[in-house]
Structure 1
Amino acid sequence: MEVFQEPIEYQNPILCLKIWQLVNDGIEYPIDWIWHFHKPVEFILVEQGRLDVHIPDRVYHLKAGESCVIGSSQLHFGRKISEEKLVYHVLHVDLQAYLDSAMQMYYRVFMEIDRSLDSLNDFMEHHAGINREIECIFADIYKEMNERTKGYEIATSIHVKRLMLTLLRHDRRGLLERQDTSDAQLLLPILTYVDMHLGDKIELQNVSDLAHMSYSYFSKFFKKTMGVSFTEYVNQKRIQKAERLLLTENWSITNIAEDVGYENMAHFYKMFKRYNGCTPKEFVSKLRKV
């Protein structure tokens, strides 16, 4: 089986998404389509025609007005059915970019720690209500990203969060229920502390004392509750802040690295490239081309 990792070039790196419309008037796609995957979650909405979306153990048969979601790094391919004209929208989005402080309790849900988001497709495929809402949200995102009027970044962020909220509120089966809700509440002071001290040296021992837990228990508790290690979480938050500073402040990269808690520049560059696939300068350069 031929498989490849599809590179996703975001329309705006800070928004971490790409949305476009595909139109196919030709014959149906062959059955031996190439399997592929990518880190961003993929949403598909069919406007006209029929499209089969394959994942390794399922096929979702979409017709006009229906949608589906493909989880992060999930193998998949789409196949046009019949010679009828096919029109559909595809949205690639890194949901982690939208998990602000108010949404941290849903970190496990949208980072797919417990289950892939494509578990929602069983009720999305033939659920007229959620598909109508997704269709409206897609139209809003597509309009904002193409017209790019003043404040389109804010509007697009709002619409992506509307999409996440729509999934949560239509989840009648509890597939997106937060795991260990009471445990997650215990971490709120820790998450706030991290946000306020990104420029400082954050010692795991000090944080575990703040949580009134032993060092080893806190380390296990945090990873179990959040789905990532404490160190990984801090690095994610630091790089997210560095991205904002690169776009809003006329600072040197050295000053930005220091402001988000990296004294070692080599380590900062390593972490930045790990999360963005490019250097800080390349990140800014990409955004200026948008």
Structure 2
Amino acid sequence: MDPIRKTLSPVGTLPFSLMHNLTKGRKEELPDHSHEWCELIYIHSGKGTFFIDQTFIELEKGDLIIIPPNIIHKSILEDRETLTSSALFFSPTMQTLTTDQRMILFQTSVKAKEARIFRHKCTQNEQQFVEGHFNQIDQERTNKCTNWEETVSLQILMLVIQLKRWMEHSVEEQEIIPTNLTWLKASLDYIELNLHEPIRLDNLAKEANISPVYFSKKFKRTIGMTVSDFLFKKKVLKARELLVQTDESIQSIAEQLGYQTMPHFYRLFKKETGITQLPIEKNIHCERRITC
């Protein structure tokens, strides 16, 4: 199975999408995936575990999660667990906003990733604020009254600004790893530290202290991807990050990730992103400006 990369289906001409107040169980949840836009998730009710960028978060009512672009994430639910949530997807490049406003959207997601603060636990009053904005966005999307796209853009901006303020007073949470996922955390940490080296199934199974065959089956059941698909996605996302955030050459980045030949690297990169060298270089400057 190829790694999942979700694509955005805009509403009208506005680059946003909303899944409002939906209940999902284990079978409805996507496997481990990523996407190129920002996401805000609000938990209305239920419990579960959320995996994002090597971090595990125990979800509960009132949690507001921000997911920056190009980060692997997934809800991990037990067979009888359900989560009722709203998920708001948006691109920071919304043309209905000013350049400064678009930078606020972009910089907030960057800050979340750098500080590794992805969750804000809302108080009762804060829950009313967040739910009110999600409801307003849903109503504007449904009714499509005059200037509804501008209104939705401003509602998203207000949500993100408020989250940014909350984050400024937050400290990095101490990660509490569910006891049934400690084996996975050890293996994920090993992958993160050794991404530049060939990673064998035997090594990961050893870190988890279980047999390779059992590890492979358990990894696929928990994450929703095979080990090889997960490693492939991790390397491609790391390559994208280095291309955007550094001035290193494409060849240097490929070598850092353990690719011995450029054709092999290009082939895998194109398979995941659909773009090749020349568009990549244009994308770097485009993403750095944020205003394209």
- Normalised to the residue count of structure 2, the TM-score between the two structures is 0.50
> In structure 2, do the counterparts of structure 1 residues 147 and 50 end up closer, same or farther at CA, with 3 Å as the change threshold?
farther
Q: Does the 8 A contact of 2:62 with 2:122 survive in 1? A: no
Partner SS for 1:12: coil
Partner SS for 1:133: helix
38, 42, 52: which one aligns with 2:39: 42
In the other structure, the counterpart of 2:132 is 136
CA-CA distance at 1:170 after TM superposition: 1.9
In the other structure, the counterpart of 1:163 is 159
In the other structure, the counterpart of 2:7 is 7
CA-CA distance at 1:104 after TM superposition: 6.6
Separation in 2, partners of 1:105, 1:23: 30
In the other structure, the counterpart of 2:16 is 17
In the other structure, the counterpart of 1:61 is 58
> In structure 2, do the counterparts of structure 1 residues 140 and 37 end up closer, same or farther at CA, with 3 Å as the change threshold?
same
Separation in 1, partners of 2:12, 2:28: 33
Separation in 2, partners of 1:111, 1:74: 11
CA-CA distance at 1:6 after TM superposition: 1.1
CA-CA distance at 1:90 after TM superposition: 0.8
Letter in 1 for 2:18: I
- Normalised to the residue count of structure 1, the TM-score between the two structures is 0.50
> In structure 2, do the counterparts of structure 1 residues 69 and 108 end up closer, same or farther at CA, with 3 Å as the change threshold?
closer
In the other structure, the counterpart of 2:254 is none
Q: Does the 8 A contact of 1:44 with 1:90 survive in 2? A: yes
Q: Does the 8 A contact of 1:96 with 1:111 survive in 2? A: no
In the other structure, the counterpart of 2:147 is 151
Separation in 2, partners of 1:25, 1:110: 28
Letter in 2 for 1:95: P
71, 76, 79: which one aligns with 2:68: 71
Alignment of 1:95-110 (within 5 A): 95-97=92-94, 100-103=98-101, 106=104, 109-110=107-108
Query: Residue by residue, what CA displacement relative to the aligned partner does 1:131-190 show, whole Å, maximum 9, x if unpaired?
Result: 432222111111111221222112111101111221222233388xxxxxxxxxxxxxxx
Alignment of 1:102-251 (within 5 A): 102-103=100-101, 106=104, 109-110=107-108, 112=110, 116=113, 119-122=116-119, 124-125=120-121, 127-173=123-169
Query: Residue by residue, what CA displacement relative to the aligned partner does 1:170-217 show, whole Å, maximum 9, x if unpaired?
Result: 233388xxxxxxxxxxxxxxxxxxxxxxxxxxxxxxxxxxxxxxxxxx
Letter in 2 for 1:57: Q
Matched, 1:93 2:80: no
CA-CA distance at 1:108 after TM superposition: 6.1
Letter in 2 for 1:41: C
Separation in 2, partners of 1:93, 1:22: 17
Separation in 2, partners of 1:44, 1:23: 11
Separation in 1, partners of 2:35, 2:50: 15
Partner SS for 2:153: helix
Gaps of 5+ in 2: 172-244, 248-277, 287-292
Letter in 1 for 2:45: Q
Separation in 2, partners of 1:75, 1:108: 18
CA-CA distance at 1:8 after TM superposition: 1.6
CA-CA distance at 1:99 after TM superposition: 5.3
Q: Does the 8 A contact of 1:25 with 1:83 survive in 2? A: no
What percent identity do the matched residue pairs reach? 15
Partner SS for 1:120: coil
Query: Residue by residue, what CA displacement relative to the aligned partner does 1:239-276 show, whole Å, maximum 9, x if unpaired?
Result: xxxxxxxxxxxxxxxxxxxxxxxxxxxx9xxx89x98x
Letter in 2 for 1:157: S
Gaps of 5+ in 1: 176-226, 230-266, 276-290
Larger radius of gyration between Structure 1 and Structure 2: 1
Separation in 1, partners of 2:39, 2:114: 10
